Amino acid sequence: MTASGGAFQWYLGVDMSTTMPPEDLRRWVGNQRAAQERVRESAREAGFVQDPIQAALDLIELASALHGWPVPEDEVRQREDEHAREAWARLRESLGGP
């Protein structure tokens, strides 16, 4: 094994000292591209967006149109946040913290 790639060759179980015939390489590249396209198509079918930043900006615009800006605070989340703050304050106090 060589220091440059021996461990990698051993891990993969391939002999990297031989070259791949050009037609095999072309077929492999074609298969990789086809697999990438299938992944992209699956993502589109599942409803994933191509531009997540634009999608997020569109959601902000929609929320603004529906509820005004800034969007009102969620009362349930506010209660949960306050409960968490109180729990941390009790924990800090029991441990002698500030």
Q: For the segment 67-92, what is each residue's pLDDT rounded down to a tens digit? A: 888 888 889 999 999 999 999 999 99
Tokens of 42: 């699956």
pLDDT band at 11 (very low <50, low <70, confident <90, very high): low
Closest CA to 72 of 82, 80, 64: 64
On average, the pLDDT of the chain sits at 84
Q: Are 98 and 92 in contact (CB under 8 A)?
A: yes
Which is more confident, 47 or 81?
Answer: 81
In this prediction, residues 53-61 reach a mean pLDDT of 90
Q: Are 64 and 56 in contact (CB under 8 A)?
A: no
Which is more confident, 82 or 10?
Answer: 82
pLDDT at 1: 45
In this prediction, residues 28-51 reach a mean pLDDT of 86
pLDDT at 30: 93
Which is more confident, 38 or 97?
Answer: 38
